[in-house]
Amino acid sequence: MTMVSDERSLWLARNVLPHEQALRAWLQSRRLVGLDIDDIVQETYTRLISAESVAHIRNVKTYAFQTAYSVLMDHIRRSKIVSFSLVADMDVLGAAAEDPSPETQTADREELQRLGEAISALPIKVRAVFTLRRIDGLSQREVAKRLGISESTVEKHMSRGFLLLLGLFGRGGKGVATSSKALNPKLDRGHAKTDRP
**Which parts of 110-139 interact with another protein (CB under 8 A)?**
111-113, 115-117, 119-121, 123-124, 127-128, 130-137, 139
Q: Which member of 177, 189, 195, 196 binds another protein (CB under 8 A)?
A: 177
Segments in the chain forming alpha helices (H): 6-15, 20-28, 37-50, 60-79, 84-87, 90-98, 108-120, 124-130, 140-147, 151-171
Asked if 71 and 40 touch (Cβ cutoff 8 Å), the reply is yes
Q: Which is nearer to another protein, 8 or 193 (CB)?
A: 8
Q: Which member of 34, 176, 191, 193 binds another protein (CB under 8 A)?
A: 176
Q: Which is nearer to another protein, 127 or 193 (CB)?
A: 127
Q: Which is nearer to another protein, 89 or 155 (CB)?
A: 155
The alpha carbon of residue 188 and the mean position of all alpha carbons in its chain are separated, in whole angstroms, by 26
Asked if 167 and 174 touch (Cβ cutoff 8 Å), the reply is yes
Asked if 167 and 175 touch (Cβ cutoff 8 Å), the reply is yes
Q: How far from 50 is each of 36, 146, 159, 180, CA to CA, in Å?
A: 21, 39, 24, 24
From the CB of 113, what's the least distance to another protein, in Å?
7
Q: Which is nearer to another protein, 171 or 191 (CB)?
A: 171
From the CB of 101, what's the least distance to another protein, in Å?
17
Binding to another protein (CB under 8 A): which residues in 51-110? none
